[in-house]
Amino acid sequence: MSSLLIKNAHVISPDVEKFNAAVFAEDGVIKQVIDAGNPLPKADKVVDIKGKMLVPGFIDLHIHGGMGYEATAPKKEAVRVIAEAKIKEGVTSFCPTTLTLPEDKLAASLKNVEAYRKKPTGAKVIGTHLEGPYINPDCIGAQNPAYLRKPDFDEIKRLNAISKVSIVTYAIETEGAVPFTAKLVKAGIVPSCGHTNATMAQYKAGQAKGLCRLTHFCNQMTKLHHREIGMVGAGLYDDKTYIEMICDKIHLCPDMIALAFKVKPIDKILLITDAMEATGLPDGNYQLGGLAVVVSDGAARLASNGALAGSTLQFNTAFKNVAEVTGKPLCQLVKATSYNQACNLGIKNLGKIEEGFIADMTVLDDEFAVNQVYLDGVCKFK
């Protein structure tokens, strides 16, 4: 058995904050969280982090790419490059996220994802997030309209047979979407409403079949109106609904971030990056799913019409932004970086620094820069 002791840690976990604490892990599982002043067990490896923050490893459920690659690229190294970049952001698990593409290209992407899952070198892939192709053409955003189609559960079954599909984003108002929702839930796949013009009534019809999640909240969805609260209203009003949030201060202004964290139960907020291939690289010309993208001052927009085309956000920056904007205790905010994501996917042992949980942990300094990252109790970045 191999063991790890991290000492002099500012441990921040859901509803828990301990100064000068220690964490003992054995064979990749946390065995003890030790309060300051208590005796420390012997370990094969002892790391003194000198008062820095120790948080659960981040979990990014919506991320298209980074470092010049996207998850749907035909190049076999794409997922590996993205996964190794995510580690540097403190992300220990993620869902590579696809785009509105033909089935053969989606299938090829999932083959590459599965090849990486068998031989991981960076962050863990816990399943794929299919964003599209069953979305509303009036809310297309940076997706390709040429490949839109109606919800097709047989297509999902074929893709899921290649590599695990964890989440599907689609518009609940499209033809056949309500029974499609029920089939996803029965298959253990999380349904998520996005790129949608749905009314609250249409969303409730989906809810009756298990839909309780909104993709990149506020972006490409029905706006809040006093005669029809739409999907923005649904996300704020319904306490059962999970909402993804891109907290780069571009997709959501600081006031909207503050509002969401004020009115939503914090255990229903999911920080995501929605990062595209330019993440980690300078401003310039890039692409998203074959569509030309220009990145200027960190904002990625379609060259054709200026629509936002994913983000260049890194996860630790999202955490920092939310902490600065909301002023909420970090032991509450870490629910939105890790534990909520695990709960959303039904994963029981991720997202906390607590006995019995997987020893996926990230060390941050006071500026939220990533200093070290541990996967299964093994240091993968420092």
Distances 53 to 13, 25, 33, 84, 209 between C-alpha atoms, Å = 10, 17, 14, 22, 41
CA distance 143 to 291: 8
- Topology given in CATH for the domain delimited by 3-55+352-381: Urease, subunit C; domain 1 (2.30.40)
> Six-digit token pair at 377?
């109790």
Q: What pLDDT sits at residue 350?
A: 98
Mean pLDDT rounded to a whole number for the chain: 98
Give the model confidence (pLDDT) of 170-209 as tens digits.
999 999 999 999 999 999 999 999 999 999 999 999 999 9
Give yes or no for residue 1 having a pLDDT over 90.
Answer: no
The pLDDT of residue 4:
98
Q: Which of 191, 196, 239, 192 is nearest to 218 (CA)?
A: 196
CATH topology of domain 58-344: TIM Barrel (3.20.20)
Q: Which residue is listed with tokens 């500026």?
A: 367
Q: Give the pLDDT band (50/70/90) at residue 272.
A: very high
pLDDT in tens, 62-107: 999 999 999 999 999 999 999 999 999 999 999 999 999 999 999 9
Q: Report how far residue 73's alpha carbon sits from residue 99's, in angstroms, rounded to the nearest whole number.
A: 11
Domain boundaries, the chain: 3-55+352-381, 58-344
Residue 193: the pLDDT is 98
| pLDDT, tens only, 322-357 | 999 999 999 999 999 999 999 999 999 999 999 999
Q: pLDDT tens-digit profile of 53-62?
A: 999 999 999 9
Q: Of residues 274, 297, 360, 376, which has the active-site annotation?
A: 274
Residues 13-37 have pLDDT tens digits of 999 999 999 999 999 999 999 999 9
Q: Among positive and negative, which fits the CA dihedral 250, 255, 259, 262?
A: positive
The answer to whether 3-55+352-381 and 58-344 have equal CATH topology is no
> At what angle are helices 230-237 and 200-207 packed, to 10 degrees?
50
What mean pLDDT is predicted for residues 154-165? 98
> Which pLDDT score, from 0 to 100, does residue 190 have?
98
What angle is formed at CA 227 by the lines to CA 223 and CA 228, rounded to 5 degrees? 45
Bridge partners of residue 53, in order along the sequence: 10, 364
Which residues are CB-neighbours of 346 under 8 A, at least 6 positions away? 188
Specify whether 274 is catalytic.
Answer: yes
pLDDT of the residue at 3: 97
